[in-house]
Amino acid sequence: MTRYIDVNDLTRLVNRKGLPTCLAEMAEYIRQDYLRWHDFEKCARLANHSPDGVIELMPVSDANLYAFKYVNGHPKNTHNGLLTVMAFGALGDVDTGAPVLLSEMTLTTAIRTAATSALAARHLARPDSKRMALIGNGSQSEFQAIAFHTLLGIDEIRLFDIDRNASEKLAANLADYPQLKLTIAGSVAEAVRGADIVTTVTADKAYATILTPELIEPGMHLNAVGGDCPGKTELHRDIVERARVIVEYEPQSRIEGEIQQMPADSPTTEFWQVVEGSAAGRENAGQVTLFDSVGFALEDYSALRYVLDMARALDIGHDIALVPELENPKDLFALLQPKEREHKASAA
């Protein structure tokens, strides 16, 4: 049988544990799996593009589990009452190919993206970081804010979105975090000024320049989350050229990340090297660091592994017959036979 987790199940799981706890625990699952980088068979995600968006499959596996995620990105969806990003995913047993888990991944992706952002910032931001700018206040933004508050102790966030209603929505949703000082800024420049960390999580499928060089101050850590497909960026090329750039999986980031603007041999460091300590994250206090985050399948593997473990521990979700279970595995046709004949055949 396959454990099935729908949106209601995942919501129940997160509410039972608390979102800050889920963020911290999922970040640890992600860290553990990045430490096993060489155990995984990896590839860039498979993308089918259309004029208004993209649909992607994100596979990865180790010797035990195969994981994949189906995910879209359609920025215009919100005009039609739909989410920009929707996703589901699965875990399969490598030895048999049997599906172990089928799960919603829209909410899970928001949690894993925020957990990954905060985990990276632990290595790349200055240890005394307290202030963050959050540019783009859509459906991912609350998760980013809570992750940085919970995992890094960020206590002041300046918000900016071209849609002020989105910023007001974000501020209202975080009213239960009184220790977190939130200010809605009137411009990107106002939000970024004096920030230790700048997170960009915008949705438009375009070569955008959300951040320009004159806005960048020495020692900033830039967490670029919104760029995640060819033709979609958030940072001016000069920023990328001057920063210390950390990516998740270089072959994918060259296609989809901020470094798609750069020559193929521009310097980058993969995040697993920073996690294991073979490469520095931040080299000095004045350095500008950039986590060029496009989202990588390994993080989904970690997220699905976490969801399965917590669902079992909390007895959330239910088992479904996603694939047949047969008395005679060579007789798939038996599924279509009347039950009486099945019983007679078994008795014989």
* Catalytically annotated residues: 228
Q: Where are the alpha helices (DSSP H) in the chain?
A: 7-17, 19-34, 106-124, 141-152, 164-173, 188-192, 237-242, 250-256, 271-276, 297-314, 339-347
Instruction: Please state, in angstroms and rounded to a whole number, the distance separating the CA atoms of residues 89 and 99.
Output: 11
Q: In this structure, what token pair is assigned to residue 46?
A: 């498979």
Instruction: Please state, in angstroms and rounded to a whole number, the distance separating the CA atoms of residues 200 and 189.
Output: 13
Instruction: Please state, in angstroms and rounded to a whole number, the distance separating the CA atoms of residues 52 and 61.
Output: 30
List 245's β-bridge partners, or say none.
290
165-172 LR contacts (CB < 8 Å, sep 24+): 166/137, 166/138, 166/141, 167/137, 169/137, 170/134, 170/137, 170/141, 170/142, 170/145
Which amino acid belongs to residue 114? A
Query: What's the half-sphere exposure (Cβ side, CA atoms, 13 Å) at 178?
Result: 0
- Looking at the chain, the number of H-run helices and the number of E-run strands are 11, 17
* CB contact at 8 A, 103 and 67: no
The owner of tokens 């020692």 is: 219
Query: Angle, nearest 10°, between helix axes 141-152 and 164-173?
Result: 50
Element (H, E) at 22: helix 19-34
